Each structure stands twice: as structure tokens, then as C-alpha cells.
Amino acid sequence: MATARRPTPAIFVLYGATGDLARRMVLPAFYTLAEQGLLPEDWRLIGSGRGDVAHEDFVGHVHRSLEQFGPKPDNRTWGQFRKKLRFAGGDFANDDGGPLIEAVRQARQDLGEDAQLIHYLAVPPQAFIDLTDSIGKHGLAENARVVYEKPFGTSRKSFRQLDRAVHQVLDESQVYRIDHFLGKEATQDLHVLRFANRVFEGMWNRDHVRAVQIDCPETLDVADRTDFYDHTGAVLDMLVTHLFQVAAEVAMEPPASLEPADLQAARESIIAKFRPLDPDEVVLGQFAGYRDLDGIARGSKTDTYVAARLWVNTPRWRGVPFLLRTGKRLAETRQTVSLILRDPVGPFGDLPPDGNVLRFALDGSGEIDLRMVAKAPGVGLKLGVASARVPISEVAAEEPLPPYVRLIHDVLTGDRSLVTRPDGLAHVWKAADPLLSTRPRLKTYQPGSWGPAAAKKLAAPDGWLLGQ
């Protein structure tokens, strides 16, 4: 299994440095690495973006990001951190590369020519190709690592175009396609708990599991991300990225080892067994009032909700529905994986509903919740449901790393365990293609609800475990 190691000196170029993703996720993650002593002994973070932003203004922007999204900057760490920040505005795609070329040259002079160069593209997917071309054109690709946020493409066709463009400039070993759901401690625990515990490993198949639910509702709206979201929607933002990857974690066959290459191979090979989505087994929704938000196109057909039934064509899972659901402005914010177990053959007849469920909470450091049928106290034989909860944090010797912190640290150290590969992504887009080609009609749902009523039929006969 891969272990943490000290990164070498690094130059971290953050494209879209003043954008929403950098502000909410990337900059706070980078500061957390500094707080925990997980950055190289020497480094530079060069923010890149359009517009003429003064160096001190960028430093102030980073400080405000930390004040709002944490961790709160303290005097000691922040005093050292701010000294390593730079900003290079202008149009990187122009002929001379703009100020970024000079900023990288100066950083290399300060840190040494052997410093690791990392490009992080915290920009919309439509900007990936131009930025990748510019990285190659301006001589910044050699021995560099390049990080791409999801979604890597927006369709089967655009994925192929992007993949070709990337490999014209970069070797696959330089490419880090990240998905922050794979960076979650609890997601990584799925395969550890399964393969390291006989009690789980023995029941992880169609003989014992009736259905799998991967449910990620959100109470949040899209107010801070309207431009990105209206060009993306729930299917691209969550279903074919996060939820497909979690489904692969649940469904994969045992890897040869827990080394990065073997984990990647196990995860990607199972995605090849995903049956293409049937649009008749998908419900798309849009919350009432979405089109009234600033920045949303009038008459927008963007989905803010998706529920889908996915099938995995392997002997282990054949005939077991994987029910995937996510949406904005729903009743709760949760992230769960639930295995609904088959009722045992025995003398009891009908058992209480939801009495045989193994649930993994993906929030925070994670939690296991085993619901089981038990005798209710009192005279006579009356059945009830008991629950046993095990917080994964109880076994932790250290504080869990937030997803972006873990993923950026992996990039700094060259750990590819949680990086998605092009073969797996090709299968993702193949599975999603029928839905993207023939989209079901949008159904309106009320904010604060559990989404369109039509989605209940997908989860029959059990129903969705959340929201009942």
C-alpha cells in the first residue's frame, strides 16, 4: 500500500486562482497542507487568471478565502505562507505566455531547476484543451504534473477530443484526473473494510445483497456557481463523476494488491461492466425557482436532480440494482452507501422493513451503520430493528485529511492511487451516452422536498432509505 512521503520542492501553478473552486476548495486545502507540515520545505504557489490583479490583492484574496472557508489563518503559519504566493495575470494562451512564463522562471531560479512543476486546472472543462495546448506550447510540460478537475469531458465525443489533446502534450504518467469523492476517507475505507473483514467480504455479492443505494442529496443551491452549473447540471457534476466512481468502489473485484496500479485497474475494469443507462430508468428534475436565479438562462433545461438505476454485468452483481440519487435543494445533505440485504430463510415470515441494511456514511471520516432484526424487549416474541454504529474516527491515530487535501498531497508526492484513468473514463462515457443522447423530460420539484415523485418507482419495492 502506498505510504506518505515528503514532497520535493514544488512550483504549484493554479489556473482559475480567483475563481469559486479555488476559493472554496483548492486554496484552503493548500493552506491545510502547510499547517500540517505536508508541503515541501520550499514551494511557490503561482495564481494564474485573467485580469490585472496586483500581488497584494491576490494575497488578500487568499486570506479572505481562508477566513470564509477555513482553516482560519494564524499569524505564524500565515506569515510564512503568504511569502510563497505570487500572481501572474494576463492571457496565458497568447504568443508569449504573458506574465506566467516569467513567474515560473523566477520560481525555478529561487527553488532550483529540479523543482517539481505542477499545473492545477481549477477552470471549467471547456478551458482544458486551450490551457493544455498552452502548457505544451510554452515549454512547461516537460516532467510536469497536470491536474484536471472533473468532469473530464462533457460527452463521449468531447472526452475523446480532450483525451487526444492531453496526450499530444503529456504522457499519461503526468496526468492527474481527480475526483474529490475518491479522496474521502470514508470512500477509501469501502475497499479496506470489505477486503480486510471477513464479515463483510463474505456477504458482498448478489446472493446476500438485494439492492445498493448510493444517495447524495444536498440542501445547497447553486447561487455561487450558476455559470458553471447551468453548463453542467447534476448528471455531469455528480452522476457520471462522483456516483459512478463510488459505484465502482462498491462493485469492484478484489485487486491484486492495494498498490496504486492495482487499485486503479480494479476500479476501472469494473466500470467496463456498467450497462449503458436506460433513459427509462432515469429521472431528471429541476427545483422550482432555479430559472429565477441570477446567471441562469431563461428557459434553462439544466437538471438539478438525477436518480438512476444502474446495472453491473458481473457474476457477483448481475440482477442487483445500483440506485444512484443526487440533487440540489433537497430535504437533507447526506452521503451514504447502503447495501440492502436479502431476508434470510427462516421461521419468522415477514420481517420488519429496513431490518437488514449495511450502511456506510461517506460524510467526514465515515461511519458504519448496521441495522438488524432483533427481539423487542417484553413479553412475547415481537420483532424490532436495532442499529449498531461504528464511527471510523475511533480507529484513527491521526485526524482525517479532507478530500482536496489528500488529493493535492497525492499529486505532490506522485501517488496515483486515486487518479482516474482514460480507459475507465471511456467506459463511463459509454455507459452515460444513451442518457446524454436521449434525455428524459425534466420534472419540477419543490425546494426542501426529496425530489420528483417519479423517482420513487426506481427504488421499488424498498423505496429510498433516505426520506421515507
Question: Mean pLDDT of successive 10-residue segments in the chain (468 residues)?
Answer: 66 93 94 94 91 83 94 91 91 76 94 94 91 94 94 91 97 94 81 83 92 96 83 92 93 87 88 96 97 91 97 97 98 95 73 81 83 75 76 68 91 90 92 95 97 94 87
Does residue 302 sit in the same domain as residue 442?
A: yes
Please report whether residue 380 resides in a domain: yes
Does residue 229 sit in the same domain as residue 350?
A: yes
The 10 Å Cβ neighbour count of residue 291 is 15
Q: What is the pLDDT of residue 315?
A: 96
Closest CA to 285 of 238, 333, 242, 241: 238
Please report whether residue 391 resides in a domain: yes
- Residue that is last in its domain, among 123, 149, 175: 149
**What range does the domain containing 242 cover?**
185-402+421-458
Please give the model's pTM, rounded to 2 decimal places.
Answer: 0.88
CA distance linking residue 246 with residue 188, whole number of Å = 10
Does residue 130 sit in the same domain as residue 210?
A: no
238 close to 330: Cβ distance less than 8 angstroms: no
Does residue 219 sit in the same domain as residue 294?
A: yes
Q: What is the pLDDT of residue 349?
A: 62
- The cell numbers describing 340, all together, are 440492502
Does residue 101 sit in the same domain as residue 37?
A: yes
Does residue 114 sit in the same domain as residue 254?
A: no
Q: How many domains does the chain have?
A: 2
CA distance linking residue 156 with residue 234, whole number of Å = 17
CA distance linking residue 117 with residue 300, whole number of Å = 40
According to the annotation, is 375 in a ligand binding site?
no
Phi, psi at 276, each rounded to 5°: -50, 135
CA distance linking residue 356 with residue 275, whole number of Å = 27
According to the annotation, is 133 in a ligand binding site?
no
Q: What is the pLDDT of residue 201?
A: 84
- Residue that is last in its domain, among 105, 129, 149: 149
Q: What is the pLDDT of residue 30?
A: 96
Q: What is the pLDDT of residue 2?
A: 44
Closest CA to 29 of 57, 64, 71, 61: 71
CATH at 141: 3.40.50.720
181 close to 403: Cβ distance less than 8 angstroms: yes
Please report whether residue 163 resides in a domain: no
Provide the sign of the torsion angle of the four alpha carbons 222, 227, 230, 233, taken in this order: negative
State the maximum Cα–Cα separation within the chain, in Å, rounded to a whole number: 84
Please report whether residue 171 resides in a domain: no
Which listed residue (61, 138, 191, 242) is catalytic?
242
Does residue 207 sit in the same domain as residue 346?
A: yes
According to the annotation, is 60 in a ligand binding site?
no
Question: Alpha helices of 360-463 — where are they, by DSSP H?
Answer: 403-413, 422-437, 455-458
- The cell numbers describing 230, all together, are 447551468
330 close to 307: Cβ distance less than 8 angstroms: no
Please report whether residue 5 resides in a domain: no
Phi, psi at 356, each rounded to 5°: -130, 80
According to the annotation, is 359 in a ligand binding site?
no
Does residue 202 sit in the same domain as residue 144?
A: no
Q: Is 242 a catalytic residue?
A: yes
